[in-house]
């Protein structure tokens, strides 16, 4: 599955394993021998049944967790902890509600100590980009869930990271808002050319957004299958609803759905 051209790879995930020990003495293999290479500008979506280690994988890449084995290498240097080069978008609740929208977006550059004028200009641009023009002085709690996620995206982009990591970024949104946000993510991806890893529970979302799609399997958490898909490229310019009418779309969706169903059934069987 690995691409042979490892050398100019942007993000390199090498043979990661993660074993948690539980208080009762037993252990959980959240990840086992996961390897993956991402080129600059690739958008990878990750699917898998609950508990297959998606969040664990993302947290290791973000630098919040140190793997039991293996390593993550970004631009030839190993990842040892969180850094502004790897931005994170959380499902919800990670915005700073004691700051208004502007200050949230400006957080990264402010921490770096960039000149205020430059920050302000950048924030204005980003507000425009994510469609929040005129909302800069609102408080976070005055915004809807969809708007909050736009702020989260803008805050991440303000730092100009090399890689953007998203853990179910649209999971808390309603279906319609979600569709709009999916278009926005595609637009931002194309405009900024960022490398993106996006975890989702929605097969449709994974298909629409993932240029590459990873299906993971649980116990131990591992890569089950990888797809290379055309839908993300199509969706950049087209209506996502049109993309869904693509003849391959429903075929692959059904294939992945039954794959995940099988895994879930297997887990249930094991549990019983």
Binding site for other proteins (CB under 8 A): 62-64, 81-84, 86-88, 90-91, 93-99, 107-108, 111-112, 139-141, 155-156, 159
Nearest residue to 203 via CA among 211, 195, 215: 215
Pull the structure tokens for residue 46. 């990750």
Is 55 a residue that touches Mg ion (CB under 5 A)? yes
Binding mask 218-257 for ligand ATP (x = CB under 6 A): ---x------------------------------------
Nearer to Mg ion, 55 or 104 (CB): 55
Candidates 9, 44, 52, 151: give the one binding ligand ATP (CB under 6 A): 52
- Residue whose C-beta lies closest to ligand ATP: 55
DSSP 199: E
Per-position DSSP letters for 54-94, written without gaps between them: HHHHHHHHHTSS--SEEEEEETTEE--S--TTEEEE-SSS-
Give start and end residues of each alpha helix (H) in the chain.
54-62, 101-105, 107-112, 116-129, 145-158, 175-192, 203-209, 231-237, 240-243, 247-271
Is 53 a residue that touches ligand ATP (CB under 6 A)? yes
Is 50 a residue that touches ligand ATP (CB under 6 A)? yes
Number of residues that bind Mg ion (CB under 5 A): 1
Query: What residues line the site for ligand ATP (CB under 6 A)?
Result: 20, 22, 28, 30, 48, 50-56, 221
């Amino acid at each position: 599955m690995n691409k042979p051209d490892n050398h100019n790879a942007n993000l390199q995930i090498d043979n990661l394993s993660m074993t948690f020990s539980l208080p009762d003495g037993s252990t959980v293999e959240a990840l086992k021998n996961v390897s993956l290479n991402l080129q600059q500008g690739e958008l990878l979506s990750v699917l898998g049944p609950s508990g297959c280690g998606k969040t664990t994988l993302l947290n290791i890449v973000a630098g919040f967790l140190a793997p039991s084995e293996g390593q993550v290498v970004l631009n030839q240097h190993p990842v040892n902890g969180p850094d502004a080069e790897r931005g994170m978008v959380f499902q919800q609740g990670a915005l700073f509600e004691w700051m208004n929208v502007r200050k949230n977006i400006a957080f990264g550059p402010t921490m770096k100590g960039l000149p205020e004028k430059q920050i302000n200009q950048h924030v204005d641009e980003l507000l425009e980009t994510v469609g929040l023009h005129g909302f800069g002085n609102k408080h976070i709690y005055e915004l809807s869930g969809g708007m909050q996620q736009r702020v989260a995206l803008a805050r991440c982009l303000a730092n100009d990271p090399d890689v953007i990591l998203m853990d179910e970024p649209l999971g808390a949104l309603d279906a319609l808002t979600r569709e709009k946000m999916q278009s926005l993510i595609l637009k931002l991806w194309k405009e900024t050319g960022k490398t993106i890893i996006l975890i989702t529970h929605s097969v449709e979302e994974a298909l629409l957004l993932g240029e590459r799609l990873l299906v993971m399997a649980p116990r131990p958490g591992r890569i089950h299958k990888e797809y290379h898909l055309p839908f993300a490229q199509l969706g950049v310019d087209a209506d996502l609803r049109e993309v869904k009418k693509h003849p391959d779309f429903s075929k692959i969706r059904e294939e992945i759905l039954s794959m995940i169903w099988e895994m879930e059934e297997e887990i249930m069987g094991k549990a019983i």
